[in-house]
Chains A and B, each alone.
Chain A
């Protein structure tokens, strides 16, 4: 029986009212008195030495307030990297400087060279055209393998090579893995590319810097998923502004998908320039700028080998991946191909021996960092593709091969350092077979074939580690920050509640789902509770939203804080009811003395807390406000099984997705409608990666796909109606809600099933030699593969 409020209810997203009626308050809606506008002059070559920048003509132009270049940032910190990876040999990764504005060299198309601040954007742009930049073009480093060759041009002259790190995981297993692969009854090998993507949130990045001379306080309004992280990174490492003099506000944010986690040069610039000029400075990215300045995603080139014994049991797995870092290390870039990727290579299977090698490479391209799934989609894609290929090579059913190798007992310690707490991979696969109507596939295939089309079915499993993360663990792994979160529950005098949370909501529906939890715990109406987020001056120090962590980590902090509230409120109630504290029960917003009809309402208790005329002041303080910080003891491990059914036109190579089913295990679910929406969006982005999206550079490092004319985003007609299910729930064992993250699962779990389905369709026509096509599976690529 579905509930109509509290945990488990499909409450409608309250934030949608303002989003859908045009009353949202986004960063670009913020305009400050006396505001100026900045335009960044960006490099149009991929690699070059800056010989001279002459700003004199530009500086004299009408409306120009100030012009800044890299020289203005001498002695000021560069953009910091938040994660240090240690390589196979125990050495720290190579970490280049990342100046706010280019110093000495430009290293990718879009690298900011100069910033013009003017009274209007048009004036700033015109003046930027008048800046004379003398750049000596240098050979561009684009291909990752070529970048590592002896004699290749270097992106950073002061580093020994273009290799950021050569990471082995688990290095101690390497010899045993090599041996197992040598002795295997069968080895399936697959080489593939995980295509570079651009996140493309609907709202481009925006930053407004403001400086208040009267109290020496700086404010940055920015499109961020984690304002406190930006405040810490920018304040402590770039500009040297102490936290109490720096406020960072991320108001409504129109989608992030990871690309708004990171600390960007433009944020530091507007904050810096507002202080220098004593004028507010605003920057709004154009879509073109977004393509060449937002951190990109994915971009791995991988060789994976799966060894099986004579009974088709997986015995070992070995991977070699080249991971593109781009020209600089974005905030969390080094963690993505390593700890968010290597630790996932066991997938849903009890493969006993695994070795993952990752070479992270600097190239003259936009920095690459986390994008929805971050490392886990790359892991899932290669694993689920190689398992599918193995099944075809061995002539066994791909689902049966997966079932045979499923992990079946929990907790399960993988050979790649993580321990899955719960899961039931058989249950989600059973559910998938039912909701995807696998039994009816052959009939559907015949119908397609009757029309001259090919039909294919692709299945995959996924497991992911999210709800990041245990701070002590990630600290050992190189994180330079803790990954707890925080919540303050402020009960107001009349009983309404403001919950200040560290997590930021930009599409996740926190403003709806979080109150459901508190309402459930207190037995009051959801409408009495409001979530406050996004302003460092209002919220406790939380680490923000990414890695499907908000409910699992910040939600747990909120539960802990609410438990403290209940404890104190019961004390107050016991005083009001003249009963023992241990006898007080809270139900439906009423405090009752157990076994009696004596009760006092929630609002009476909260009023007593703030108007303490009759109050146990000798025992407790007035007021009702509690803060909790929560640091998880493990990741959460959502898992599932996905099925994609495609139709392929053999004449044109065009693929259409006819059916898509997803059976997920997210543990307990607070709001099923929001969870389904998250899965829908994730699958949409996964389909985008599989069929459409591709960020392309030419050999000179020119970005060729920098508009929607060339970068194909999925549209409504590209995706089918999804059949999704989350009824196979094995609750997380270590957080108080028993929840697992659901935000990235769809993007992690969907690309392999799409590609598996296309290969299945092609092979059904007798072309058994087509075993792989790299994403995106455009008509041209599919058609070419079919022609051999």
Chain B
């Protein structure tokens, strides 16, 4: 399954780049992410709880960063195993380009699922993946830009744990970066 889209982010490409490499940011942005540890050089270990169609599972996996070209582009390659639920894997090429308002972030995702996820969820997987990507980049935008004075939309995280944490930390990645 392939997806691509782009977003305008009100921050410099350098700031966006730094955010992408920050496991704490990724943890806040990936819907259902329970843990995210590691470094850009060695890759990140992640745990994500998600429900796809009738299949709910905890995925544990690894995300590696490849073809790093700061602050222009990077490829994120990941695979998550969900036990009896099967697995998901994929890669996303993220490209950053300066724009009038800050940065244009373009992503190109190629994802695959296997096992029970494919058997039971294949009809809903495209919609699910699109929703996940939308949520991720909405969260990412919020974290990088910081809350837009009262109007910031709540990150649509499904997991209560993530939802509780998110507002408290929404101080704005850039501010934290430069404070």
Interface residues of A, Cβ cutoff 8 Å to B: 44-45, 109, 125, 128-129, 288, 291-292, 698, 700, 702-707, 709-710
Contacts and interface: CB of A to CB of B under 8 A. Distances in A.
A710 B116 contact: no
Contact of B114 (A45, A128, A129, A707): A45
Contacts of B123: 709-710
A128 B84 contact: yes
Interface of B: 83-84, 86-87, 112-116, 118-120, 122-123
Contacts of B116: 44, 288
B118 A702 contact: yes
B114 A704 contact: no
Contact of A707 (B83, B112, B113, B119): B119
Nearest to A132: B81
B112 A700 contact: yes
Given A125-B84, A129-B83, A129-B84, A44 B114 contact: yes
Given A44-B114, A109-B114, A109-B115, A706 B120 contact: yes
A702 B116 CA distance: 9
Nearest to B115: A44
A704 B84 contact: no
10 contacts: A44-B115, A44-B116, A45-B114, A109-B119, A128-B84, A288-B116, A291-B119, A702-B114, A702-B118, A706-B120
Contacts of A706: 118-120
A364 B87 CA distance: 18
B122 A710 contact: yes
A710 B122 CA distance: 9
Contact of A703 (B83, B87, B112, B119): B119
Contacts of A700: 112, 114
The A interface, classified by DSSP as helix, strand, loop or mixed, is loop
Given A44-B87, A129-B84, A698 B120 contact: no
A292 B114 contact: no
- Which of B87, B118, B120 lies at the interface centre, i.e. has the most chain A CB atoms within 10 A of its CB? B118
A709 B116 CA distance: 13
A519 B86 CA distance: 57
Give 8 closest A-B pairs by Cβ, nearest first. A44-B115, A706-B119, A702-B118, A704-B122, A129-B83, A44-B86, A44-B114, A702-B114
Nearest to A45: B114
Given A44-B87, A125-B84, A129-B83, A703 B120 contact: no
Contacts of B115: 44-45, 109, 702
B88 to A, nearest CB: 11
A226 B86 CA distance: 35
B120 A709 contact: yes
A44 B113 CA distance: 10
B119 A704 contact: yes
B84 A703 contact: no
Contacts of B122: 698, 702, 704, 710
Given A288-B119, A704-B118, A704-B122, 4 more contacts: A44-B86, A109-B115, A702-B112, A710-B122
Nearest to B83: A129
Contacts of B84: 125, 128-129
Contacts of B87: 44-45
A698 B121 CA distance: 13
A710 B54 CA distance: 13
A580 B115 CA distance: 75
A762 B115 CA distance: 39
Nearest to B85: A44
Contacts of B119: 109, 288, 291-292, 702-707, 710
A704 B53 CA distance: 14
A220 B124 CA distance: 40
A700 B87 CA distance: 13
B120 A707 contact: yes
Nearest to B123: A710
